[in-house]
Amino acid sequence: MLRGKNILLGITGGIAAYKTTFLVRLLIKAGAQVKVVMTQSASSFVSRLTLSTLSKNPVLMDFVNQEDGSLSWNNHVELGLWADLMIIAPATANTLSKMANGTCDNLLMAVYLSAKCPVYFAPAMDLDMYRHPSTKASFDKLESFGNTMIPAETGELASGLHGEGRMAEPETIVQFLIKDLTKDLPLSGKKILITAGPTHEAIDPVRFLGNRSSGTMGFELAKRAADLGGKVVLVSGPTNLTIDEGVTIDLIRITSAQEMYDACHKHFKDTDVAVLAAAVADYRPKHVAVEKLKKKDGDLQIELERNPDILFSLGEQKEHQFLVGFALETENELENAKGKLKRKNLDAIVLNSLKDAGAGFGKNTNKISFIDKNLEIKTFGLKTKPEVASDIWEEIIARIHA
């Protein structure tokens, strides 16, 4: 949820400012762009050089910059408009009072008053200061402005006392942001199970039966589900694809159809939506050679046996889950997809044809039809796979929230 976000971090003069180096690292790791504005007193607790190095942006502290005899100013309005969200951490009692009463005596306060984005503040102060009625009044007033407090924690304080007032840990702040930003998203609170890629069925230690699936469609579906607030479990066969840094997805890598079957059944019971986009091998060698098979005169015959039908087995166990399958067809596409939809007790099926130019394995595009259990069909034109993933989730969400 923080990937691609522009985040302004305001740092004020409290001992907890040292934690902001870790906070900047976590925000960058989550895929955010970070700019830091700090007060003069904050520079006594944390280095501007450290923060600028970590954020890869200059750290701003004054209205006016003076370098090599030239003057320039830091445009607080532009900063406020640049940000997708603003965090003030640590937020001292002094700064909280200024925020609540509109006291604009430094660059950080000017940026805060100019910000049009959501503002979060993480209080940090000693126990008695935290409990003081004036501090409580600041909290209430700021929340009435629409600002969001990241609650302080209980622990050892700089004074040596133990109690409430300790700034939330950087990891807690990041998780708080993600949870708050996802709470209104359509897949928030839902567990999503997705399969992707091919399966490889061993013939011997070096050879296997497989197919040309790249796994791209399944990975794009997983990324889109995460962007929509879902808690995503992605079960992937052998692919070269990875999850972008900052995207929270539980990636389970498997090789064979049996391993995918086991992983899916492990997670299906508490899943809300399952989308099985993997190209699972229907058959596997009945006997796997322990040693590499040597080439001999004549033909080689390999006896095959059926792999477990993952989609069918999940359809049998389905209770509350919304179950979606994929059908890649080469003939009688629509009738075959409808048959699979009914036979496997699916809520919807995504159909694509190898006869459609730009669709199928190894392509960056796809052309699909979405068919639900009421046989309502929606056909889409040729699109990129990220766009296809968005279309599929739009159709699913329309039905699970109907």
Write down the catalytic residue from 6, 75, 94, 211: 211
Whether 52 and 60 have beta carbons less than 8 Å apart is answered as no
Report how far apart the first and last C-alpha atoms of the chain are (Å, whole number). 25
The maximal CA–CA distance of the chain, rounded, in angstroms, is: 91
Residue 35 CB-density burial (10 A; 0-12 exposed, 13-18 middle, 19+ buried): buried
C-alpha radius of gyration, the chain, whole number: 27
Task: Give the helix/strand (H/E) hosting 48.
Answer: helix 48-55
Query: What is the DSSP-derived secondary structure letter of residue 256?
Result: S
State the DSSP code for 261. Answer: H
Rounded Cα gap, residues 201 and 86, in angstroms: 50
Question: Cβ–Cβ contacts within 10 Å for residue 331, how many?
Answer: 9
The DSSP result for 114-168, as a single string, is: H--S-EEEEE---HHHHHSHHHHHHHHHHHHTT-EE---EEEE-TTS-EEEEEPP
Q: Using alpha carbons, select from 81, 78, 76, 84 the residue that is nearest to residue 27.
A: 84
Query: Is 211 assigned a catalytic role?
Result: yes
Catalytic amino acids? 211
